[in-house]
């Protein structure tokens, strides 16, 4: 019999993992473990209820928000981005659709291109990070990204595409994107501790992201937008992520017909060396050899992975405020649960 807590403690200690891990059975949490410090200056420990940034895990919430607008009849999967952008972002081709953007098949240029090797500990934003606090403020950094390939030609992971989706969602709804996500996803799911927080005014309940430079720990405040949008940056807890999975697969955010459409594979994604083969639906990753559906994200001082088997409802979530240890933990949990 596996002592899950002991195994996780061992991995977390060996890998210097700082964050929270939660494992759920179909009807209850099986285990929660917290490790490391949320605030190193004041020696505040991470706790089960600590809020963490989840980087690109935000894309799944963006997809649900956009699909809810489709269900309401405000847009369609076939709606072109150009029809809603007007004169903005002229480098986006006229045939790029909402579906292309949601499935990473748009081919539009990316302001943060993850198809090339990236040093996440570098200063990657092309403008001062304090200038990125609203979705509209991303327009200047999106505007210069040239098309990479024709829409629909292949999978190409694209951060810009999900910023464009947030921009479109704001324009068709008339509601700022953070409020829209709260209304359409967090509210129905009961995610009371999930929000687009500003990195320069985090509450005590939120973990500060850290990177190690020359043996010293520094915060990630200069590395990421001061407030996230459709491609990343929301803060949440492991309990709220569990609530999100429950609400999603019970049809409380979008209908069950749309749940099936969201987790229908649009692409086989080339596997990185040693990684599990994956597919992609609309805003969610799909394991190519199991039923697992995944939300994930990583950036400077942020690591996030959460997977759910919709057949057994087995779920695990790991969130960290550093880049260390996530791979070992998630590999162990995926092999154990799925």
Domain ranges of the chain: 4-337
**Residue 28 confidence (pLDDT):** 72
Q: How far is the C-alpha of 259 from the C-alpha of 216, rounded, in Å? A: 44
Whole-prediction pTM: 0.96
Q: Quick one: pLDDT at residue 216?
A: 93
CATH superfamily, with its number, for domain 4-337: DD-peptidase/beta-lactamase superfamily (3.40.710.10)
Q: Is the dihedral of CA 287, 290, 292, 293 positive or negative?
A: positive
Q: Are 84 and 172 in contact (CB under 8 A)?
A: yes
pLDDT for residue 1: 62
pLDDT of residue 274: 56
What is the block-wise mean pLDDT of the chain (338 residues), using blocks of 10 residues? 90 98 86 97 97 98 98 98 96 97 97 80 86 96 93 97 98 98 98 98 97 94 96 98 98 98 95 76 96 96 97 96 95 93
Q: Could you give the CA distance from residue 337 to residue 293 in angstroms, rounded to a whole number?
A: 13
* pLDDT value of position 39: 98
């Amino acid at each position: 019999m596996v002592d899950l807590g002991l195994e996780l403690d061992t991995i977390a200690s060996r890998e210097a993992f700082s964050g929270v891990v939660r494992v759920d059975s179909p009807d209850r949490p099986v285990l929660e473990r917290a490790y490391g410090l949320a605030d190193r200056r004041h020696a505040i420990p991470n706790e089960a209820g600590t809020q963490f940034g989840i980087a690109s895990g935000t894309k799944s919430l963006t997809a649900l928000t956009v699909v809810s607008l489709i269900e309401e009849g405000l847009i369609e999967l076939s709606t072109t981005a150009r029809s809603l952008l007007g004169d903005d972002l002229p480098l986006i081709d006229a045939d790029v659709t909402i579906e292309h953007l949601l499935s990473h098949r748009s081919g539009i240029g990316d302001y943060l291109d993850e198809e090339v090797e990236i040093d996440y500990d570098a200063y990657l934003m092309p403008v001062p990070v304090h200038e990125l606090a609203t979705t509209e403020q991303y327009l200047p950094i999106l505007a210069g990204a040239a098309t990479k390939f024709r829409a629909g030609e292949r999978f190409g992971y694209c951060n810009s595409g999900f910023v464009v989706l947030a921009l479109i969602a704001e324009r068709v709804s008339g509601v700022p994107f953070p409020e829209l996500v709260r209304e359409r996803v967090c509210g129905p799911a009961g995610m009371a501790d999930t929000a687009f927080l500003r990195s320069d005014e985090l509450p005590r309940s939120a973990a500060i992201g850290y990177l190690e430079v020359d043996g010293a720990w520094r915060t990630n405040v200069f590395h990421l937008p001061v407030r996230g949008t459709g491609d990343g940056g929301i803060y949440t807890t492991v309990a709220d992520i569990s609530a999100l999975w429950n609400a999603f697969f019970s049809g409380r955010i979008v209908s069950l017909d749309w749940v099936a459409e969201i987790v229908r594979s649009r692409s086989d994604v080339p596997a990185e060396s040693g990684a599990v083969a994956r597919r992609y639906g609309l805003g969610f990753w799909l394991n190519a050899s199991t039923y697992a559906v995944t939300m994930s994200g990583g950036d400077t001082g942020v690591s996030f992975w959460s997977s759910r088997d919709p057949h057994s409802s087995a779920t695990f979530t790991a969130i960290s405020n550093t880049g260390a240890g996530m791979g070992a933990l998630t590999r162990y949990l995926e092999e154990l649960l799925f």
